Amino acid sequence: MGRIIVRLDRVMADRKIGLNELSEQIGISNVNLSKLKNGHISAVRFSTLIAICEALRCQPGDLLEYSEV
């Protein structure tokens, strides 16, 4: 069974933005954003994904990757 890998940390590093700054920009707590960044979630709302993409000027595919392993 495949899995989804969250690449938020990589995109944040590329954009030189920290967790606290992104958290403030999108209105999500540091704890929840950290869980998302570290892949400790089972779902993400589209509204959250949209806010992250707008703040980081990226596409959902930049943040999420499918792996067969």
What element of type H or E holds 6? strand 3-6
Residues 6+ apart with CB under 8 A from 31: none
Inter-helix orientation angle 19-26/46-56, to 10°:
120
Give the ranges where the chain is alpha helix by DSSP (H).
Answer: 8-15, 19-26, 30-37, 46-56, 60-63
- The model's pTM: 0.91
CATH no. for residue 26? 1.10.260.40
For 60, the domain range is 3-67
Give the model confidence (pLDDT) of 23-61 as tens digits.
999 999 999 999 999 999 999 999 999 999 999 999 999
What element of type H or E holds 65? strand 64-67
Number of domains composing the chain: 1
